[in-house]
Amino acid sequence: MTIDKPWFRQQFDSANISQNQVAQELGIPRSAMTKLLTGKRALKASEAVQLAEIIDAPLPEVLTRFGILPPAEIDPVLVSHIVDNMGQLNALPRGAAVAPPVLEIPHHCHCIQFRTASATAEELRTVDGWYVYTGPFTTSVQQAVGRWVIAISRAGELGVGMLYRSYKNYHQYNIVGPMPLSESDIAECAAVLHIVT
């Protein structure tokens, strides 16, 4: 593993931050930071993401400079749908938008972007800008109970949050979270794998 130490030093200088301050931001000892830059300590995925934010560099670039991945190995995730100001899920043309790269998610996942800044409903405004990475949509809703999901009710309502079975009707569900649904007949849902806010 070849680490491009001069590049990292240049990035630290550009960000006006010392190596010790970077270690502090990452929540690791100074000695661990030195070991990272000399290849004697492995870089964790969460540290790579934080480091990219600290030095304001793209994550693929940070990984490449650490010698972890060649740039082509991080597959872009296409935004397949957006949620609009009315809370409706709308398909996007393939390749119309690309989501930020995220490590540790399966290939071929879906990403839904919330574009809800002008929504009248407060729960929609609070999730504006979110990128929600999901698995495929399924009609086997009962298998997702107890997980975070994006769900679509048979009435066309969108819900985001933890999925629970209804106490009143065994065939209905409740979603508790930023976009709740109550006593809903869920048509399909997708498990949430990761959220970038």
Paired residues of 132 in beta bridges: 112, 195
- What pLDDT, on the 0 to 100 scale, is given for residue 70? 56
| Res. 158: pLDDT tops 70 | yes
**Residue 2, pLDDT score:** 83
Average the pLDDT over 177-184 and give the result.
93
3-state secondary structure 55-95: CCCCHHHHHHHCCCCCHHHCCCEEEEEEECCCCCEEECCCC
pLDDT in tens, 16-28: 999 999 999 999 9
What pLDDT was estimated at residue 75?
65
pLDDT for 53 beyond 70: yes
Check: CB of residue 81 under 8 Å from CB of residue 152.
no
Residue 101 near residue 52 (C-beta atoms within 8 A): no
Please answer whether residues 134 and 148 qualify as being in contact, where contact means their C-beta atoms are separated by less than 8 angstroms: no
Of 99-103, 166-170, 191-195, the poorest mean pLDDT is in: 99-103
Are 71 and 36 in contact by the 8 Å Cβ rule? The answer is: no
Does 73 score more than 70 pLDDT? Answer: no
* Confidence band, pLDDT 50/70/90 cuts, at residue 69: low
* Domains of the chain with CATH codes: 5-73 (1.10.260.40), 77-196 (2.10.109)
Helix extents (H) in the chain: 5-14, 19-26, 30-38, 45-54, 59-65, 122-125
Mean residue pLDDT of the chain comes to 88
Environment class of 135 (CB within 10 Å of its CB; exposed 0-12, middle 13-18, buried 19+): middle
Give the model confidence (pLDDT) of 25-41 as tens digits: 999 999 999 999 988 98
Mean pLDDT, range 147-155, rounded to an integer: 95
Look at residue 39 in the predicted model and tell me its pLDDT: 87
Per-residue pLDDT at 112: 93
Measured CA to CA, the distance from residue 22 to residue 91 in angstroms comes to 40
pLDDT of amino acid 189:
95
Stated pTM of the model: 0.64
Mean pLDDT of all residues in 106-126: 86
